[in-house]
Structure 1
Amino acid sequence: MTGIAVREGEHRKPIHLGAHFPGVNNTTVWQVPEAGSQVDFASFEHLARVAEDARFDFFFLAEGLRLREHLGRIHDLDVVGRPDTFTVLAALAAVTDRLGLAGTINTTFNEPFEVARQFATLDHLSAGRAAWNMVTSSDAFTGANFRRGGFLPHADRYRRAAEFITVAQRFWDAWDAAAPQRVVHRGEQFTVDGYPELPRSPQGHPVLLQAGDSADGREFGARHADAIFTRHGTLEAGREFYADIKARAAAHGRNPDHLKVFPAATFVIGDSRAEADEKARHIRLLQVGPQTAINFLEQVWGRDLSDYDPDGPVPQEDPTFDAVTQGRTRQGDPREIAARYRARAEAGGLSIRELVIEMTARQQFVGTPEQVADGIDRYVQADACDGFILVPHLTPTGLDDLAARVVPILQERGAFRTEYEGTTLRDHLGLPPLSAAGSERRTG
């Protein structure tokens, strides 16, 4: 793989980068001495400082609302739970100056006034760097932690989310220098009658991110979001998704350039491609240990598979679909999923563990610093995305090597900033300012 040459005068589409704090995912490696805490503030601060020194757009904090259970026990398929999102991001606002601060807050189990107030507070404390990753939930298992409990059908959770963001935006826009404006809303999900408690924040609204690849999720994101967090990893799938979501934004009367697309991606860097490949193989074996492989397959088969050898063949029996795992679901008919898994395993001669490693793989950049830079740049220049949310496998030092060895290459190519040009996250992402009414200001 060779570097991407930059000809004099050639336009380079700017790359945007977010740094995902490891923990709430199945990529984090905890079994090595260098792995740190996912709850110590020093871990959050380290990753944020490294990201800001490298001129990343934002720090991204995911969130889990309930510990997952497997066969009635808390399991370690991945790590869930950490200190409260707003508390962590507010603390990070005090130790960073330019880095955007993005938090995942659920629209199913919160209330619009409270979330609007919390994000307005964060935007004030950070001088305009707040971002909200809007997510929904439809499972009763998570809901059992909350007063209402129960669950929402898939389509209803987006209807609630749309009404939620509408009410929140009305609170953000209701402040007037002369006097706060009253917010009155009566809808299917919310009945609200009140006033905002804070002056308009530096960005007006936090930057709105959304994660959802379904048709409903795409429509919601195209209408409401400033950035989309997607799982599409291959170049071809990325280009298809990118074209689709931009077209949907245009159909809603929006400028497609004002909706950014961010796939998640992991990375492994070595002094040679062979070294990077070996490191990547070792990391995947740590991420998917024998018990994790069996646990993963039990979620599909719906039965206890503890008698199976993780290094042996995939079960030939059909799933029973008993609820052995709560808090994590597979989309679709279990029998069809199992058949697809069997076919994949047979075609590749894969054991259970090898199959799970393959099926859970994210988009991954593996190679020398130059090769990793090539991969990131290629996706952005080919309109497969506008940038990446990078997911390190180590807490909190997993971003250090990429920041030191890959980012300078992207900067030399003119595809990534060497300094922040603005002060707010909207500035970093190239989004226009908002008018007092919450819409994009039109110029020209």
Structure 2
Amino acid sequence: MTVRPRRSRTKQIHLAAHFPGADNTTVWADPRSKSQIEFSSFEHLAHTAERGLFDFFFLTEGLRLREHKGRIHDLDAVGRPESITVLNGLAAVTERLGLAATVNTTFNEPYELARRLATLDHLSGGRAAWNVVTSCGAFTGENFRRGGFLDRADRYIRGAEFVQTARELWDSWTPDGVSRPFAHRGRHFDIAGEFTLPRSPQGHPVVIQAGDSDEGREFAASTADVMFTRHGTLETGRAFYADVKRRLAAYGRAPEDLKIMPGVAVVLGDTAAEAQERAAEIQRQQISPQTAILTLEQIWGVDLSAYDPDGPLPEIDPVPDSRITQRRTRPGDPVALAGKWRALSREKGLSIRQTVIEASGRQSFIGTPEAVAAEIDEFVQTDAADGFILVPHLTPGGLDEFVDRVVPLLQERGAFRTEYTGTTLRSHLGLPDPVWKG
């Protein structure tokens, strides 16, 4: 990349790379789409992210394959590797890139997970991160001894105690390398003993939290270092950003202690028209006629295979508490969501497939490299985000064009680093080191 001198700016943009999961984000029909489980795919995307000086590389988690109408969901047939294992391998072939694993607090235990994350932090020289997710689903729980015991209302309560307990374990070694016994007595965990690893290079791995609900926002404000979210327009982004940042003070935290990074897609073209055409084609590939019907069935809760994807939405109301899709459902009231989609369909004259495309697309930056760089910069400089987690539609080469064509323009604007200046993920993100609590 050719890099021009930077100008001084108020805020620096944070960027991360999301390895596409087993869902309709990935365009499987594209001949450039490769394996979801071969190490070479993870390595390629991680190398691209590090070449682009990204903060971290982000992996999702799937503890059980989805089922739809009693069959394994087609898009899960590729398999779902365990993320920390993959990241330990990537630690050996990268030097500065942060390595973020999504790990569930419902179906793991603090001692075991704290040990695995501390190991990754040691092996990587201080680049580990943990994306904290919660679950209350009995369907996923069937893979575990506890089953689905956890009430939905308790998932964040257990999650918060889980993170607290993990941090107590990491703090059970002093900064100068002395091990001390630990003991935690709480509602969900009652453990005592000695932790097996000294304090890792970051003290604590970086904690990421995903979720836009009110309880998710509060959890992030109290606990997380990074918030992975989604919001659409510049205005809604600013409102979300302001709401979450204002909550930090109640926990004795400063606004810069939490980075807000929405997940986004980027589609580039040599002209604006070309970029829009490419984006429309990608959306048509992501939302096939079959996927459109499947998505509708997740909301309506009934078999809609007799409906024409190019025809109108069903007039029937959704079935509450349907089990037609197991493990992945759309949040919120299905009747209200169906009404919202019907209104959208009527307003714009959209078919089922067109409605799903319109309603399901994640936030995207679409345009020439110059226009995309300017828009990303505007979001960050006007406090709609601290940066973005890029979700490409191709595995593993979906970030190549962004790194080659957009990153140099962000650097020219003075809004993005031209080199890594630190060695740990905390240093990349500008986060304070955790205070040791002896």
Classify the TM-score, shorter chain: over 0.9
Contact kept in structure 1, 2:297 and 2:324, CA below 8 Å = yes
Q: Where does residue 119 of structure 1 map in the other structure? A: 117
| Structure 1 position 328, deviation (Å) | 1.1
Q: Where does residue 132 of structure 2 map in the other structure? A: 134
| Structure 1 position 182, deviation (Å) | 1.1
- Counterpart residue type for residue 285 of structure 2: L
| Structure 1 position 9, deviation (Å) | 7.1
Give the distance between the partners of 2:136 and 2:235, measured in 1 at CA. 30
RMSD value, Cα = 1.6
- Counterpart residue type for residue 420 of structure 2: Y
- Counterpart residue type for residue 338 of structure 1: A
Asked if residue 106 in structure 1 is aligned to residue 96 in structure 2, the reply is: no
Give the distance between the partners of 2:251 and 2:203, measured in 1 at CA. 21
- Counterpart residue type for residue 418 of structure 2: T
| Structure 1 position 77, deviation (Å) | 5.5
Contact kept in structure 2, 1:23 and 1:80, CA below 8 Å = no
| 3-state secondary structure, aligned to 1:185 | strand
- Counterpart residue type for residue 89 of structure 2: A
| Structure 1 position 374, deviation (Å) | 1.1
TM (norm. structure 1) is 0.94
Deviation per residue, 1:233-268 (Å, 9 max, x gap): 221111111111111112211011111000000011
After TM superposition, the structure 1 stretch with the greater mean CA deviation from structure 2, 91-100 or 243-252, is: 243-252
Q: From 52, 73, 76, give the equivalent of 1:75.
A: 73
- Counterpart residue type for residue 63 of structure 2: L
Give the distance between the partners of 2:328 and 2:268, measured in 1 at CA. 31
Q: Where does residue 425 of structure 1 map in the other structure? A: 425
| 3-state secondary structure, aligned to 1:305 | coil
| 3-state secondary structure, aligned to 1:229 | strand
Q: Where does residue 12 of structure 2 map in the other structure? A: 14
| 3-state secondary structure, aligned to 1:157 | helix
After TM superposition, the structure 1 stretch with the greater mean CA deviation from structure 2, 302-311 or 228-237, is: 228-237
Q: Where does residue 150 of structure 1 map in the other structure? A: 148
Contact kept in structure 2, 1:265 and 1:390, CA below 8 Å = yes
Give the distance between the partners of 1:248 and 1:361, measured in 2 at CA. 29
Deviation per residue, 1:258-309 (Å, 9 max, x gap): 1100000001111111111111011000000001000000111111100000
- Counterpart residue type for residue 183 of structure 1: F
Contact kept in structure 2, 1:77 and 1:296, CA below 8 Å = no
TM (norm. structure 2) is 0.96
Q: Which runs of 5+ in 1 are unaligned?
A: 1-7, 439-444
Give the distance between the partners of 1:275 and 1:11, measured in 2 at CA. 31
Contact kept in structure 2, 1:155 and 1:216, CA below 8 Å = no
CA 1:428–1:178: 2 relative to 1, 3 Å: closer
Q: Where does residue 442 of structure 1 map in the other structure? A: none
Contact kept in structure 2, 1:203 and 1:426, CA below 8 Å = yes
Contact kept in structure 1, 2:22 and 2:76, CA below 8 Å = yes
After TM superposition, the structure 1 stretch with the greater mean CA deviation from structure 2, 48-57 or 24-33, is: 24-33
Asked if residue 188 in structure 1 is aligned to residue 181 in structure 2, the reply is: no
Q: Where does residue 44 of structure 1 map in the other structure? A: 42
What does 1:261-340 align with in structure 2 at a 5 Å threshold?
Answer: 261-321=260-320, 322-340=322-340
CA 1:365–1:9: 2 relative to 1, 3 Å: closer
Q: Where does residue 229 of structure 2 map in the other structure? A: 230
Q: Where does residue 353 of structure 1 map in the other structure? A: 353
Contact kept in structure 1, 2:22 and 2:75, CA below 8 Å = no
Give the distance between the partners of 2:177 and 2:28, measured in 1 at CA. 54
| 3-state secondary structure, aligned to 1:336 | helix
Give the distance between the partners of 2:83 and 2:132, measured in 1 at CA. 13
Q: Which runs of 5+ in 2 are unaligned?
A: 1-5
CA 1:16–1:289: 2 relative to 1, 3 Å: same
Give the distance between the partners of 2:217 and 2:68, measured in 1 at CA. 31
| 3-state secondary structure, aligned to 1:43 | helix
Give the distance between the partners of 2:404 and 2:302, measured in 1 at CA. 46
What does 1:23-34 align with in structure 2 at a 5 Å threshold?
Answer: 23-34=21-32
- Counterpart residue type for residue 393 of structure 1: H
CA 1:80–1:241: 2 relative to 1, 3 Å: farther
Give the distance between the partners of 2:178 and 2:335, measured in 1 at CA. 60
| Structure 1 position 145, deviation (Å) | 1.1
- Counterpart residue type for residue 431 of structure 2: L
- Counterpart residue type for residue 99 of structure 1: L
After TM superposition, the structure 1 stretch with the greater mean CA deviation from structure 2, 71-80 or 292-301, is: 71-80
Deviation per residue, 1:170-222 (Å, 9 max, x gap): 11000134641111112110110111100110000001100111111111110
Contact kept in structure 1, 2:9 and 2:415, CA below 8 Å = no
CA 1:208–1:350: 2 relative to 1, 3 Å: same
Give the distance between the partners of 1:217 and 1:193, measured in 2 at CA. 29
| Structure 1 position 10, deviation (Å) | 5.6
Q: From 173, 176, 183, give the equivalent of 1:175.
A: 173
| 3-state secondary structure, aligned to 2:74 | coil
CA 1:104–1:71: 2 relative to 1, 3 Å: same
After TM superposition, the structure 1 stretch with the greater mean CA deviation from structure 2, 179-188 or 111-120, is: 179-188
Q: Where does residue 3 of structure 2 map in the other structure? A: none
- Counterpart residue type for residue 95 of structure 1: V
- Counterpart residue type for residue 140 of structure 1: A
- Counterpart residue type for residue 380 of structure 1: V
| Structure 1 position 335, deviation (Å) | 1.9
CA 1:80–1:389: 2 relative to 1, 3 Å: farther
| Structure 1 position 142, deviation (Å) | 1.1
Percent of paired sites with the same residue: 63
Q: How many residues are paired up? A: 432
Give the distance between the partners of 2:145 and 2:56, measured in 1 at CA. 33
Contact kept in structure 2, 1:23 and 1:79, CA below 8 Å = no
| 3-state secondary structure, aligned to 1:14 | coil
| Structure 1 position 78, deviation (Å) | 6.5
Asked if residue 386 in structure 1 is aligned to residue 406 in structure 2, the reply is: no
Give the distance between the partners of 1:422 and 1:178, measured in 2 at CA. 23
- Counterpart residue type for residue 384 of structure 1: A
Q: Where does residue 162 of structure 1 map in the other structure? A: 160
- Counterpart residue type for residue 422 of structure 1: G
Contact kept in structure 2, 1:232 and 1:263, CA below 8 Å = yes
| Structure 1 position 109, deviation (Å) | 0.5
